[in-house]
């Protein structure tokens, strides 16, 4: 129930931001794959393929600068590699983390090229883990609310279609394991995200 209330508040804030700036902002849609791993576990590599999809509102602030707020669903997580299982004898492992994300990005716009940086608030909807074919719902083991830092680039292909790439890393841990040692006691999302964007309005940047 608390998650639903929080998501509702975030959604209303996002829609209110768009309505307030309705005369001057760009709005659009976002979709694309995510390549994920979790730092702090024993598995390495961006082997978990996920998805991100949502919408954005972009507000020009000054020449070459804008702010962008987004509302997205993202599937993140981690996955064991074939080498880890066959050569290192790790258990086959799959982690799936389902999030609602609210990124706020500051952007520098230079023609068709944009660089951006910012952070997001992430609300965990569900977590599942599959260890050696033992599937479990483990949502309660993970932090419900976390934050992520984002940096990225974006290219406008046409007036309405663009492609972007972001690197994302948790600012705060997404889980405390209780294991001894600072690093192995905390898990962090580490994500490469590729997106296709559709700008509904004529671009202002």
pLDDT at position 63 is 86
pLDDT at position 204 is 47
Is 115 inside a domain boundary? yes
Mean pLDDT across the stretch 3-32? 64
Secondary structure of residue 10 in the 3-state scheme: helix
Which residues form the domain of 101? 2-199
CATH of the domain at 160: 2.40.160.20
Residue 198's contacts (CB-CB under 8 Å, 6 or more residues apart) are 28, 29, 160, 161
Closest CA to 74 of 103, 41, 107: 103
Is 130 inside a domain boundary? yes
Q: Taking the model in full, what pTM does it have?
A: 0.84
Q: How many residues does the chain have?
A: 205
The mean-pLDDT minimum among 68-77, 136-145, 176-185 falls in 176-185
Residue 174's contacts (CB-CB under 8 Å, 6 or more residues apart) are 38, 97, 124, 142, 143, 146, 187, 188, 189
Total domains present in the chain: 1
In the predicted structure, residue 6 carries a pLDDT above the cut 90: no
Quote the DSSP letter at residue 59.
E
Q: How many CB atoms lie within 10 A of CB 146?
A: 23
pLDDT band at 82 (very low <50, low <70, confident <90, very high): confident
Is 146 inside a domain boundary? yes
Is 204 inside a domain boundary? no
Residue 186's contacts (CB-CB under 8 Å, 6 or more residues apart) are 40, 173, 175, 176, 177
Q: Which residue has the tokens 């994920």?
A: 36
Contact between 73 and 55 under an 8 Å Cβ cutoff? The reply is no
Upper half-sphere CA count for residue 59 (Cβ side, 13 Å): 14
Mean pLDDT across the stretch 99-104? 96
**Token pair in block for residue 49:** 């393929």
Alpha-helical runs (H) found in 55-151:
82-86
Is 205 inside a domain boundary? no
Is 9 inside a domain boundary? yes
Residue 127's contacts (CB-CB under 8 Å, 6 or more residues apart) are 95, 96, 97, 98, 137, 138, 139, 141, 142
What integer best gives the mean pLDDT of the chain?
86
The mean-pLDDT minimum among 40-49, 77-86, 126-135 falls in 77-86
């Amino acid at each position: 129930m608390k998650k639903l209330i929080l998501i509702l508040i975030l959604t209303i804030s996002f829609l209110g931001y768009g309505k307030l700036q309705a005369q001057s902002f760009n709005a659009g849609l976002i979709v694309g794959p995510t390549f994920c791993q979790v730092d702090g576990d024993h598995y390495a590599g961006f082997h978990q393929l996920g998805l991100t999809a949502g919408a954005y509102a972009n507000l020009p602030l000054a020449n070459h600068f804008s702010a962008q707020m987004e509302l997205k669903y993202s599937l993140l997580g981690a996955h064991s590699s074939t080498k880890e299982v066959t050569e290192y004898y790790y258990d086959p492992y799959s982690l799936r983390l389902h999030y609602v994300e609210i990124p706020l990005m500051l952007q520098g716009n230079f023609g068709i090229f944009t660089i951006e940086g910012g952070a997001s608030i992430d609300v965990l909807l569900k977590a599942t883990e599959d260890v050696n074919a033992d599937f479990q719902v483990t949502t309660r083991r993970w932090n419900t609310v976390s934050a992520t830092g984002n940096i990225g680039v974006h290219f406008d292909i046409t007036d309405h279609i663009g492609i972007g790439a972001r690197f994302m890393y948790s600012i705060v841990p997404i889980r405390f394991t209780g294991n001894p040692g600072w690093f192995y006691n905390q898990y962090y999302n580490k994500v490469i995200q590729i997106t296709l964007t559709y700008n509904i309005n004529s671009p202002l940047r």
